[in-house]
Structure 1
Amino acid sequence: MNRWASSSLIRFFGGKNLIYLLGVILLVGLNILVYTKVSFIFHPLVTLIKTIVLPSVLATVAYYLLRPLVGLMEKAGIKRVWGILIALVVLIGLISLLIVLMVPFFQRQVMSLAAEFPQYLKELGNSIDQWIRNSMFANYYDDLFSHLNGVLDSPLKNLSAYKGEAIEGVTNFISQLTSVVIAIITLPFILFYLLKEGEKFPKKVLKLLPPKMRSDVKDVFRGIDHQLSAYIQGQMLVSFSIGVMMGIGFLIIGLNYPFLLAAIASVTSVVPYLGPAIAITPALIIAIVTSPFMLFKLIVVWTVVQLLEGKLISPQIMGKRLHIHPVTIIFILLTAGHLFGVLGIIIAIPGYAILKVVAGHTYYLFQRRYNRYVKEDSQYDIYS
């Protein structure tokens, strides 16, 4: 082994370090192979994680939104338990008020849009059909897409062929709806204990670690807390600002369903880059069918809002705390969405930020240990 490790080729690729790396890769591969053979053992654990992840995510978001309010009340002399109860009552009251005032209005808007949207799609299809028939692609279109009008006029003909998929989709929808209801019911209880004991949890974890590790792990906890707090609080403010600006812009240009479309834009803006593309789709269809001038006005409003959000609002509220390249964000969102669905898209960016903090600090520790040019007092930027 020593003779093999000391050969010129192996020394060129790292010597004993290469052997160690290959051994680690082999052990990781063996672990993955064993897991694939006995994965059924972990099925209860996977089910448990799927059950608790949604209420935990909702409680974490609410925790970072309410923590400043609870802290202010505690500084004002109100006991923390009473401050938490007051914050929960305020949160439940605001949600109830929004439900009473907004849900009936948005329900009417959604029902009306759902009834008219197929007609919008049909008119859009007819417009595209006429445009292509009068263009240079008319000959190709007649051969390849001559059945388009028949599909648009009778979409129910092929319904029976998709009956199985429809039943499966309804079953999945009911399952997801049940999970959401359970998450909402358990949310206040999880949130109460998070607000009450959340700041003590890192200290309890640190006590379980060797004293030599506590300082570094404490830095990691502080960095994760800072990243999550900045992202969640900032993203909520940015989403609210986008919704308000979109609503005002849609009202000014006279677009149909302005408040519903603005609400969609506000909710989907939680997902960077992909969210605006999703939000503008129904607005584009409505604007195209309405008139070409309406489409122009919509593009102007959307451009102005995106410029204000990208150049003024987001830098002021969120700054550049995450330092994630846009292409990286898109790949993260696509991967998380493919693996975990809508919930994965929502938690992808904060999850990546947490992993980035852990990986960055780990790299700093290795650098400090093996690089003699790194000073002991140089502080890794845990908040980057």
Structure 2
Amino acid sequence: MGGKNTIFALILIVLVGLSIFIFDLVSFVFNPLTVFLGNVVLPIILATIVYYLLRPVLRLLESLKIPRIWGILILFIAVIGLVTLLVFLIFPFLKTQSIRFVENFPEDFRILVNNITVWLQGSMFSEYYATVEEDFNEMIQDLPAQIGVFFQDTFTRVASGVTSIIGAITSFILAIVTVPFIVFYLLKDGEKLPQYVLRLLPPRMREETADVFQSIDKQISSYIQGQLLVSAAIGVMVFIGFSIIQMPYALLLGSIAMVTSVVPYLGPIIAITPAVIIALVMSPWMLLKLAAVWTVVQLVEGKFISPQIMGKTLHIHPITIIFVLVTSGALFGVAGVILGIPGYAIVKVIVTHFFHLFKMRYNRYEPVVDNHYEYVSKTNKVE
């Protein structure tokens, strides 16, 4: 446990601790940087997502001998046309179903509570339920008043923080406005960006860094394209299945399933919850039909769609995904839940690469010359 390596490690830990302590004392110096990053991160993330979705199409257009600038112009026109089509054809139906769902949900929830109460009174749990029925009824009676107090407090907080809300809305609008410009330059020069960065590095680091860039690009591209395609497929299948069994709000529930499916494992649970409540209010037969449709959707997605689209690109264990989602959600909220998995994939690529270089440097079974590691390519040939 002794020696120079241990002393070096202990000194390094002390220096890291001192650095964190000092930066905490002078954190106000970094406030402008925090504001800058807060305004820049959202448009960059949105533009990156759009870039990875449009890049394969742009490459296809270039393979057809269409110049890159004209290809970008064609893509922008196509995207504008698609968004316009969705707004005029789908949004009115979605708006109507959303309004009906919000208006009917309190009554549906009351019916659900009554049905559960009747079932509990006639089940094996009737004696236990009789002991808590009074408190439960009291809670149900006080629920409208509590909801009113909640909305009143929320309105008070919103009114007091109206300046912050206006600032947030303004930042979001500016982010949406700037996204097309960032996407244009990413499509135009995005593939040249890694070369610009590599030129800033020492020559002996460029090859390894280029491998890291390629791995990160592959991870992000596969995740964004695959996850959005899978989510769209799930939304369409849920809409078709709910329409077949005549589930109310089929379009709205399909849209919710499509949006929430972006989050692995946790998304489907969120998506199925409102559908289960509606089915319980309608009849047990509707609940069985809902279970059948959802089972078919999950089987088709898990056995056919995801393996074909996503493959095994990320190589992340499901337990790891759950821990990453919970941790990133607790740290960064909704943004952390959405971006936690691709962020983890990027960190994993970097750490794995540097760990490989570390083993090559210090493993006595690796070929070394003059106490420096030699670069070993993927074909296991020493270069």
Structure 2 length normalisation: TM-score?
0.90
Q: Percent identity?
A: 52
Q: How does 1:219-238 map to 2 (within 5 A)?
A: 219-238=211-230
Partner SS, residue 7 of structure 2: helix
* 1:245 lines up with 2:237 in the alignment: yes
Deviation at 1:378, TM superposition (A): 4.5
Structure 2: tracts of 5 or more residues without a match: 368-374
**Map of 1:297 onto structure 2:** 289
Per-residue CA deviations over 1:207-233 (Å, capped at 9, x if unaligned) read 110001000111101111111111111
Cα distance change of structure 1 residues 29 and 244 upon mapping to structure 2, 3 Å threshold? same
* 1:84 lines up with 2:72 in the alignment: yes
Per-residue CA deviations over 1:240-263 (Å, capped at 9, x if unaligned) read 111111111111212111111011
**Map of 1:379 onto structure 2:** 378
Structure 1: tracts of 5 or more residues without a match: 1-9
**Map of 2:26 onto structure 1:** 38
Output the CA distance in 1 between the equivalents of 2:8 and 2:120.
63
1:167 maps to amino acid: T
* Residue 339 of structure 2, aligned match among 324, 339, 347: 347
Partner SS, residue 327 of structure 2: helix
**Map of 1:49 onto structure 2:** 37
* Residue 307 of structure 1, aligned match among 296, 299, 308: 299
Cα distance change of structure 1 residues 232 and 122 upon mapping to structure 2, 3 Å threshold? same
1:268–1:278 Cα contact (<8 Å) kept: yes
Per-residue CA deviations over 1:314-358 (Å, capped at 9, x if unaligned) read 111110111111111111111111111111111111111111111
**Map of 1:75 onto structure 2:** 63
* Residue 283 of structure 1, aligned match among 275, 288, 291: 275
Partner SS, residue 281 of structure 1: helix
Q: Indicate the larger mover: 161-170 or 94-103.
A: 161-170
1:122–1:152 Cα contact (<8 Å) kept: no
Partner SS, residue 272 of structure 1: coil
Deviation at 1:309, TM superposition (A): 0.9
* 1:122 lines up with 2:114 in the alignment: no
Cα distance change of structure 1 residues 264 and 161 upon mapping to structure 2, 3 Å threshold? closer
Tell me how large the CA RMSD over aligned residues is. 2.2
Deviation at 1:291, TM superposition (A): 0.7
Output the CA distance in 2 between the equivalents of 1:269 and 1:235.
8
Q: Indicate the larger mover: 81-90 or 309-318.
A: 81-90
Cα distance change of structure 1 residues 177 and 294 upon mapping to structure 2, 3 Å threshold? farther
Deviation at 1:23, TM superposition (A): 1.8
Cα distance change of structure 1 residues 114 and 195 upon mapping to structure 2, 3 Å threshold? same
* 1:164 lines up with 2:163 in the alignment: no
Output the CA distance in 2 between the equivalents of 1:315 and 1:250.
24
* Residue 271 of structure 1, aligned match among 263, 269, 273: 263
Output the CA distance in 2 between the equivalents of 1:213 and 1:141.
69
**Map of 2:359 onto structure 1:** 367
Deviation at 1:203, TM superposition (A): 0.7
Output the CA distance in 1 between the equivalents of 2:192 and 2:133.
64
Output the CA distance in 2 between the equivalents of 1:374 and 1:135.
69
Output the CA distance in 2 between the equivalents of 1:240 and 1:33.
47
Deviation at 1:372, TM superposition (A): 3.5
Per-residue CA deviations over 1:139-168 (Å, capped at 9, x if unaligned) read 544444524445545644232365333433
Output the CA distance in 2 between the equivalents of 1:124 and 1:19.
66
Output the CA distance in 2 between the equivalents of 1:121 and 1:259.
20
1:326 maps to amino acid: P
**Map of 1:210 onto structure 2:** 202
2:11 maps to amino acid: G
1:231–1:350 Cα contact (<8 Å) kept: yes
* 1:132 lines up with 2:124 in the alignment: no
Partner SS, residue 320 of structure 1: coil
**Map of 1:321 onto structure 2:** 313
Structure 1 length normalisation: TM-score?
0.90
**Map of 1:200 onto structure 2:** 192
**Map of 1:6 onto structure 2:** none
**Map of 1:185 onto structure 2:** 177
Output the CA distance in 1 between the equivalents of 2:77 and 2:234.
27
Per-residue CA deviations over 1:144-193 (Å, capped at 9, x if unaligned) read 45244455456442323653334335757665544432221111011111
Q: How does 1:101-116 map to 2 (within 5 A)?
A: 101-116=89-104
